[in-house]
Structure 1
Amino acid sequence: MTTMIRLLLSTTMLAGLAAPALAQAAPPAPAATPAAEPPAEEEVDVSAPGGGNDEIVVVGTRIPNTIRASREVVSVLSAADIARTGEGDIAGALKRVTGLSVVGGRFVYVRGLGERYSLALLNGLPIPSPDPLRRVVPLDLFPTSVLASSVVQKSYSVNFPGEFGGGVINLTTRAVPKDPFFNVGGSIGANSATTGQLGYVYAGGTKDWTGFDDGTRNLPQGLRASQDSGRALAVGGNFNLRQLQDITADLANAATNVIFRNENIPVNWSVNMSGGRAFDVGDARLGFVFAAGFSNDWQTKAGKQQLSGGATGTGANAALLADQDFNFAATEFRSVLNGLFSVGAEFGDHKLRFVNVYVNDTIKEARIQSGFDDINVGRDVLLQRNATAQFRRQLIDTQLVGEFKWDNLTLDVRGTYANSKRLAPYERFNNYAFSAQFNDFVNDLRSPGQSSLVSFSRLNEDVYGAGLDLGYKIRGGPFPIRLAAGYAFSKAERLSERFDYRYQSNAALPGAVTQQRPDFLLSDFNVYTYGIILNTISTVAPRYEADLTVNAGYGQVELEPADGVQVVLGVRYESGKQRVVPQDVFNANPGSAFNTPTNINQDYWLPAATLTWNFAEDMQFRFSASKTVARPQFRELAPQPYFDTDSDRLSFGNQFLENSELINIEGRYEWYFGRDERLAVGAFYKDIDKPIDAIAFVQGGTFQNTFANAPNARLYGAEIEAQKYFDLSSWGGLFETRRFFVSANYTYTDSQIRVKAGDTTRFPLSGQVVPATDIFRTGSLPLTGQSDHVANLQFGFQDDAGLSEQTILFNYASNRVAFRGPSGQPDLVEKPGIRLDVVIRQGFKIFGKEIEAKLEGRNLTNTRYQEFQRLNASRVDTNTYVLGRSFQASLSAKF
């Protein structure tokens, strides 16, 4: 049930999630002095599972109503609040919220925890990521203009899915706009490390700038037939030499194989529009909202990628050596097309939403590496490695939500269907080694360090979801009571394929041929002249099917036994069946543990309780306790390899993973000491049984990632948030209508994986039960992806008379473990560091139209991306590169 909550008009709440349930009004207590008249408020629209009602307790008259009415630890962003941050997308706005950190400018994590502990909902319904290899949704895809609110809930309530670790982010789209609007905008931007600088590109197709392929990368018919029939490409019973040559020659060559230098990488740009209108039809009000955006962005990463095979020396003299040491440069071109169309209706207290989302997000990458590989080739041989790829992700999501209210009864009905795809054709890898004999780089397709490979992968996933929630208020008793109950269903079905091939020749290639660039080397002439053919590499699980079905029901009671005291008690029953079935398409690993299917069938009772004590008109205290679960993702279970564009590494899953169970305890004190001013202090504790952790290992000289269950982990921490405004009207002149504001928050988190003698875990791929100390070092090990310290500071000026804001923003996150180190080595550590941003927004009018100009400077500290291993005085940079400073100017007009 949509809860129409009134929020202080000028509150700049940098956080946000909907109140799952609201309390019934209590009779006002006598006061010695009249309460201060609250400032004007605006309505904030929140759509979340579990229903609600619009009556609230009246003790905390200075507490913003969304915060006061919620039973849980939440932060709320209204549409106006989001606009004040100066961000065009919700990911940027949320990174100022207490305890939230944004990874890569796109993915929002709660309290530094990794993506498996973060959940995103759209109008109370699950929304899959447009990248099916990730659980977390890139929130930079959602323009702020179409959002009515965003709520971040950090304590669990049973109306939400049981997979609740760090928190849930619920986005609510506008249903029926209050006033007609139409906005058109555009931006142009540059990056000091990319724009106008040297980068590397490849041709691809003529439509690559749109994010779509023109057919250049279509899968050749011969390869498709081989994959469908399970006949591996190899000379023998399945194919003769001529057939394999025909299949090999049928592949696109130069367009996907040749990397060019671009001395002047273009600027970044985007265009967007949004609009909406409402109509009165009888007693009903109908409306629609739409948004569309298109962007082209470039990023060149240049730095170091090293790999240590182990340590030399002992004790304080131990040191890591870089057994692989490459300088690299990679240029990524990202094209994003997104759209949203929503139709809504309001009649009485009832509301309907029909929401449709489309996203096409494509990354085209060209990468070169130069260095040595002492593990496979030798320290004295200079290697040159080139790679090209295109990764296209698509999401189509449709939702229908009905929210109804009849006096004491509320009813919510929700349904959704989503389809997510990932297509990665023609991932090419060409490896050359320097030859003293020819004084040139050569590739004979067979010697160490010399090879050409190509991979084709595709993934399709369908997601279905539905929910029914009922709420009923019992009046006339000794104190207000509200009962809520609901049922939720979700099902995800996935089919994923990845096929890897290597070019091979029947005989040694002439020296002159080995010196040719990739498109000449693999040309049709050489294919038929020298017998160059594609061979299927017998990878593990070239294809897998997976599904996850969850049926859940919950019951919840909300009590107000005394004025200002609210109690919520509930329990959720959740039955989850998860299945991943690897397919040995080419019968390459008969009887192997690689082919072991995953079947996780577990039921859970998940209780939750929250106590809220609103003991003064401007203060309240919350305490909550709950049990939740964390399920492994499909990609973490499937032994199929995949390439992670963020880490530039090959990863695969572990089909022997188990679910994690969490015990969550939280307390929070809030003091709203003035208009738009607050102080909040909280503490939290989590105990995690069998947490899933990312681990790294070296296989065949290649750095790879996988996952394993640690025995146990615990996490605790505290957070503090403060916001203060200073009225500058007494200064007069330019400052007559201005306020100076300061907002700061800080979160401390301590996490530790606990491994003791006798603990065991399942080893990836083999499934063998091994001592946990074989994978996890003993001692103090923080969870992967978790920063001990996350801090945000922003300050600047706001004009109350019109749009004029100047804001300086600092963001800091301390070092966090990215992956467990391979073979007992130190962990791979990521260093986010300090970021400084400046945002200037100014409104003005041209020909009577409202225009907004925005100037942004991001990462002005020029902080690098750093991932490394450290042992004593030695350091190995596993993936370190320059990010550069980014600048963007944008204009938008309102009609």
Structure 2
Amino acid sequence: MELLNSFRRAALTVLALTLSILSYAQTGKISGTITDKKTGETLIGVTVKIKGTTKGVSTDVDGKYILQAMANGKYTLEFSYVGYQTKEVSDVEVKGPSVTSLNIVLNEAGGQNLQEVVVKANFKQESVNSLYAQQKNSALISDGISSDQIKKSPDRNTSDILKRVSGATVQDNKFVVVRGLSDRYNNATLDGASLPSTEPNRKAFSFDIVPSNLVDNLIVSKTATPDLPADFTGGAIQILTKDIPDNNFISFGIGAGYNTASTFKDFKSGVRNASDYFGFDNGDKALPANFPSRNKILAGLTPAHDIAAMNSLSSNWRTYNNTALPTQNYQFTLGRVKDFTESNNRFGALFSVTYRNSQTIYNDVIRDYVNYDYHDNAYKFSTNLGAIANFAYTFGKSKITLKNIYNRTYDDQYLDRQGYNKDRGRDIKFYAFDLMQKSLFKSTLEGTHPLGENNSKINWSLSYANILNDQPDQKKISYQRDPSLAGKEGYVYVAQTDNINKENSRLFSKLNEDNFSGGLNYTLPVKMFSQTSTFKAGLSSIYRKRSFDARFIGLQANQSSSLKDEVQRRSLSTLYGKDAINGGAYYLNDISLDADSYNAHSMTNAGYLMLDNKLGEKSRLVWGLRVEQFNVVLDAKVPTPQTSVNDDYVDFLPSANYTYSLTPKINLRASYYRTLARPEFRELASASVYDYELLALQQGNPGLKEAKIDNADIRFEFYPQAGQIISVSAFYKKFHNAIESFNSDGGSSRIITYINSDQVNVYGLELEFRKSLDFIAKNDFLKNTTFYTNLSLIKSKVETNNTGLNLKDVKRPMVGQAPYIINAGLQHSFLDNKLNFNVLYNRVGRRLNVAGGVLFPAIWEAPRDVIDLQLALKVIKNRGEIKFNAGDILNNRITQYYDNDLDKKYDRSKGDETISSYKPGSNYSLSFSYTF
């Protein structure tokens, strides 16, 4: 009997637990953000109630609310706030366990009587109203994509998302160009903190490192307000990642890709280790810790020490043959949220890990110009690791977040080159083994707190970032053969080891940079002109500290060695064999210069005051002043007046953005603002590095100054329906001391360096169109089909003082400025949004990459057509998704050239010379993701 009673108790317990779980599974949540309809400012402390019940919550400091444990069914919600009209929204349906998203816009009460008016709307109407308000309420000319739009697209990372932004173009699937300006004229922030450059030799950020499913909002601002950093001219790209998820979840994704030029083709490489697949070199390539210093080598080592030092270097010059495997992608994301029902506080955490490995072949790269007639084959093995860990805690109306991101890229490239050097009269074979390890770590602590009861708030942030670029043992060697000896005994390739220069040396370099930043912002609603306006003020500082170390080391032929001639005729795998080193065929040489390594630091302090004025019912003016003080110090490891930099700037940066709402669906905008472009450390450093792909030295200019840019914009916006837009914009930019790259060829060799161009004028016209095709015919198919396009037409003119620069063209287009950009696409949703189809087209006009010197002309990049196709199918109750992507389907050549006949077209038959031309291959990938 006791056993039976125990069984009954256990059965009842299991039944109760099951009913509890089933009951919980049948509950859902309602969440959203509440904003002012005219300004877009979030509202703190709005009361949200379920009509007919006592259940309710208040919005937090971000204007967000969440109603927990709602049983399935339809509800009417009531939103009330002092000074605003109360709003009731009906037909809000809960379908547990999912979250119903409802964003709300509230109108200010116009008088005492209007405060008693209750505005009524249903769920669908209010969703449309909210989307309209988001589109129209930006204080400046901008374009953005929300998390809801991202959910409906098959985009994998932030660079994919940016392809959909008007006026933006993505290069190499990671670098962004806005309004046709080169990436050095863009600024990027992640969760409110500036992002450092991820590239060692350019100012650019790799946007493919942030997964799309963690992006809450992405905004590209094309005009400036005082609260934005001033160092941009094309666009300020702001990425906000998610912090507190609506529900607990686990998701994973797996994918594979095929490249028509690479996958399953013969793949050559240097030595490969298992750790390479995880993004880390095993350390064999690094310069030994006890390796002799440059001074010791130049002073002369004993023969025994010389041989020991050479033998301590990695000696594996073998080439390995494999098969290029398909691209692999893996992603795991975990979201957790804890609600404290008694205090209404919440804690949330998001974790994400991504992994990608690709093996890419750049086959038959043509380099045919001046004295070169070369053909390259390059093989790149790449591993990318990424991780995000975000934490957030809301208490009362305050919120604190800690957001962390880590990314590591491992690129190991092997290149072989064959051809003819006309200047030397020799056949050439050239080999390069090149490993670059890059990492970025960034952590941001941020808090937002209300002050008083008038919707004022304070926001503060502290951020740290570290950037590492490690290039252990870039190995290069050239062989030559005299074609006039064909058929004779001496007709062999001979290794060029008689002299060591930067073309055939081994480079060991490491860049390490630490960034520290902090900011404080204050927002206060004020009454002006009988309207509620917003006053904002803030302070911020960014401190950057960088060290760059480079050593150029080579094994130089010993002219007195009896082994010299035999060794120089050896194949690459045995050229530097231990028998040759121990036999005295080589001695160690270090050709590093004092300026090849440097230390640098900079400090940027900024403060701003701004007002967001509503001038009547239809007008809005956002205006103010930003002041930035900037100091940069750079010294070579052995400082000289020619290599040292110590510059101070104080800049006053006014801006004004005016918006007039002609109708509820039409905005007219006008803007003026001043921005900056500051030289990067690399652009200032005299360090000279040979780029074997560009066949040129890259070197900075310590005399480079910051650029100042005056900007003006006007824009007409028409929103025919929510989520749709027709706009026309015109803009003008006047650069003072624009920063540009050019071919410095005062000597016989080419050095790519940087100059300040005196006066640059840029004029542009933009057209954006996003509209469903239901205007053709009223049916569901066309209603669910959206056509979008944006077209930019841009004209730039540079006038440069040629004094001491050896420039060929003092009047020309601006470097990096495209004359036109075309983006177009067609999107269709089938099966109640379960199947989404996207096709995208992009074309960027011919643009100047490097300004011309006298001996070496300007380098142009030819336009190419790019078509991408994306197909996404939701499966397994919308928890799973299968995605098919086809990228660069046309596979047009990527070409840079000298336009010798000046006809603005690339044509080798008419004398144009090819700097680089190759087909990258089309990419096809299939992936599957699932969320628990």
Does residue 356 (structure 1) correspond to residue 404 (structure 2)? The answer is yes
Would you say the 8 A contact 1:188–1:269 is kept in 2? yes
Does residue 485 (structure 1) correspond to residue 570 (structure 2)? The answer is no
Aligned equivalent of 1:226, options 276, 286, 293: 293
Match in the other structure for 2:635 = 581
Aligned equivalent of 1:161, options 221, 225, 229: 229
802 and 145 in structure 1: CA distance in 2 versus 1, 3 angstrom threshold: same
Match in the other structure for 2:518 = 466
Give the Cα–Cα distance (whole angstroms) in 2 for the partners of residues 511 and 373 of structure 1: 22
Does residue 541 (structure 1) correspond to residue 595 (structure 2)? The answer is yes
Would you say the 8 A contact 1:796–1:806 is kept in 2? yes
Does residue 432 (structure 1) correspond to residue 479 (structure 2)? The answer is yes
Query: What is the RMSD of the two structures over their aligned residues, measured on CA atoms?
Result: 3.2
Q: Mean Cα displacement is larger for which, 836-845 or 75-84?
A: 75-84
The code of the aligned residue for 1:323 comes to: N
Match in the other structure for 1:12 = none
Match in the other structure for 1:287 = 348
1:127 is displaced (CA, Å) by 1.7
Q: Mean Cα displacement is larger for which, 127-136 or 669-678?
A: 127-136
SS in 1 for 2:399: strand
Match in the other structure for 1:347 = 395
Match in the other structure for 1:891 = 928
127 and 451 in structure 1: CA distance in 2 versus 1, 3 angstrom threshold: closer
Match in the other structure for 2:899 = 870
Aligned equivalent of 1:881, options 918, 921, 924: 918
Match in the other structure for 1:48 = none
Match in the other structure for 1:67 = 135
Match in the other structure for 1:152 = 220
Match in the other structure for 1:317 = none
Aligned equivalent of 1:852, options 869, 881, 897: 881
Aligned equivalent of 2:810, options 778, 790, 795: 778
Match in the other structure for 1:338 = 386
Would you say the 8 A contact 1:443–1:451 is kept in 2? no
1:802 is displaced (CA, Å) by 3.4
149 and 530 in structure 1: CA distance in 2 versus 1, 3 angstrom threshold: same
The code of the aligned residue for 2:881 comes to: E
Match in the other structure for 1:270 = 329
576 and 57 in structure 1: CA distance in 2 versus 1, 3 angstrom threshold: farther
451 and 674 in structure 1: CA distance in 2 versus 1, 3 angstrom threshold: closer
The code of the aligned residue for 2:884 comes to: L
SS in 2 for 1:179: coil
Give the Cα–Cα distance (whole angstroms) in 2 for the partners of residues 98 and 37 of structure 1: 35
Equivalent positions of 1:494-893 (< 5 A) are 494-507=546-559, 509-539=563-593, 541-584=595-638, 595-642=642-689, 650-698=697-745, 703-727=750-774, 739-755=784-800, 759=801, 770-771=803-804, 774-775=806-807, 777-779=809-811, 781-799=812-830, 801-823=832-854, 825-845=856-876, 850-872=879-901, 873-893=910-930
After superposition, give the CA deviation of every residue in 1:390-421 in whole Å (9 maximum; x if it has no partner). Answer: 00001111101112234331111011001111
Give the Cα–Cα distance (whole angstroms) in 2 for the partners of residues 390 and 579 of structure 1: 30
User: Which structure is larger by alpha-carbon Rg, 1 or 2?
Assistant: 2
Q: Mean Cα displacement is larger for which, 641-650 or 390-399?
A: 641-650
Does residue 258 (structure 1) correspond to residue 318 (structure 2)? The answer is yes
SS in 1 for 2:134: helix
After superposition, give the CA deviation of every residue in 1:812-838 in whole Å (9 maximum; x if it has no partner). Answer: 111111111232543101124110111
Give the Cα–Cα distance (whole angstroms) in 1 for the partners of residues 693 and 507 of structure 2: 18
Match in the other structure for 1:323 = 371
Would you say the 8 A contact 1:412–1:470 is kept in 2? yes
The code of the aligned residue for 2:371 comes to: D
SS in 2 for 1:383: strand
536 and 828 in structure 1: CA distance in 2 versus 1, 3 angstrom threshold: same
Give the Cα–Cα distance (whole angstroms) in 2 for the partners of residues 674 and 645 of structure 1: 53
452 and 706 in structure 1: CA distance in 2 versus 1, 3 angstrom threshold: closer
SS in 1 for 2:505: strand
Q: TM-score by structure 2 length?
A: 0.83
SS in 2 for 1:233: helix
Equivalent positions of 1:79-94 (< 5 A) are 79-94=147-162
Give the Cα–Cα distance (whole angstroms) in 2 for the partners of residues 776 and 6 of structure 1: 56
1:440 is displaced (CA, Å) by 2.7
Match in the other structure for 1:187 = 255
After superposition, give the CA deviation of every residue in 1:120-157 in whole Å (9 maximum; x if it has no partner). Answer: 10111112233343322111110011111101111011
Give the Cα–Cα distance (whole angstroms) in 1 for the partners of residues 507 and 865 of structure 2: 38
Q: Mean Cα displacement is larger for which, 146-155 or 701-710?
A: 701-710
Would you say the 8 A contact 1:690–1:709 is kept in 2? yes
444 and 562 in structure 1: CA distance in 2 versus 1, 3 angstrom threshold: closer
Give the Cα–Cα distance (whole angstroms) in 1 for the partners of residues 290 and 464 of structure 2: 34
After superposition, give the CA deviation of every residue in 1:600-624 in whole Å (9 maximum; x if it has no partner). Answer: 1010111111111112110111111
Structure 1 stretches of 5 or more lacking a match?
9-19, 30-35, 46-52, 309-321, 586-590, 761-769
SS in 1 for 2:583: helix
Give the Cα–Cα distance (whole angstroms) in 2 for the partners of residues 664 and 105 of structure 1: 29
SS in 2 for 1:302: strand
1:79 is displaced (CA, Å) by 1.1
Would you say the 8 A contact 1:269–1:296 is kept in 2? yes
825 and 700 in structure 1: CA distance in 2 versus 1, 3 angstrom threshold: closer
Match in the other structure for 1:249 = 311
Give the Cα–Cα distance (whole angstroms) in 2 for the partners of residues 390 and 817 of structure 1: 29
Would you say the 8 A contact 1:787–1:816 is kept in 2? yes
Give the Cα–Cα distance (whole angstroms) in 2 for the partners of residues 408 and 444 of structure 1: 73
1:566 is displaced (CA, Å) by 0.6
328 and 6 in structure 1: CA distance in 2 versus 1, 3 angstrom threshold: farther
Give the Cα–Cα distance (whole angstroms) in 1 for the partners of residues 102 and 763 of structure 2: 35
Equivalent positions of 1:366-385 (< 5 A) are 366-375=414-423, 377-378=424-425, 381-385=426-430
Give the Cα–Cα distance (whole angstroms) in 1 for the partners of residues 913 and 682 of structure 2: 28
715 and 477 in structure 1: CA distance in 2 versus 1, 3 angstrom threshold: closer
SS in 1 for 2:682: helix
Give the Cα–Cα distance (whole angstroms) in 1 for the partners of residues 697 and 387 of structure 2: 32
Give the Cα–Cα distance (whole angstroms) in 2 for the partners of residues 450 and 116 of structure 1: 27
SS in 2 for 1:363: strand
SS in 2 for 1:674: coil
Give the Cα–Cα distance (whole angstroms) in 2 for the partners of residues 472 and 259 of structure 1: 65
Give the Cα–Cα distance (whole angstroms) in 2 for the partners of residues 57 and 330 of structure 1: 67
The code of the aligned residue for 2:607 comes to: G
After superposition, give the CA deviation of every residue in 1:234-287 in whole Å (9 maximum; x if it has no partner). Answer: 3xx442232222111110111xx222344x311111101112121112321110
SS in 2 for 1:884: coil
Match in the other structure for 2:193 = 125
SS in 2 for 1:691: strand
Aligned equivalent of 1:176, options 241, 244, 249: 244
Structure 2 stretches of 5 or more lacking a match?
1-31, 38-61, 64-80, 94-99, 111-118, 120-127, 902-909
Does residue 414 (structure 1) correspond to residue 461 (structure 2)? The answer is yes
The code of the aligned residue for 1:291 comes to: S
The code of the aligned residue for 2:249 comes to: F
Would you say the 8 A contact 1:7–1:66 is kept in 2? no
Would you say the 8 A contact 1:185–1:273 is kept in 2? yes
Would you say the 8 A contact 2:558–2:564 is kept in 1? no
The code of the aligned residue for 1:614 comes to: S
Give the Cα–Cα distance (whole angstroms) in 1 for the partners of residues 310 and 581 of structure 2: 7
Give the Cα–Cα distance (whole angstroms) in 2 for the partners of residues 721 and 793 of structure 1: 10
Would you say the 8 A contact 2:503–2:692 is kept in 1? no
1:452 is displaced (CA, Å) by 4.5
485 and 878 in structure 1: CA distance in 2 versus 1, 3 angstrom threshold: same
Number of equivalences: 818
Give me the identity figure in percent.
22
Would you say the 8 A contact 2:214–2:242 is kept in 1? yes
The code of the aligned residue for 1:461 comes to: E
The code of the aligned residue for 1:864 comes to: R
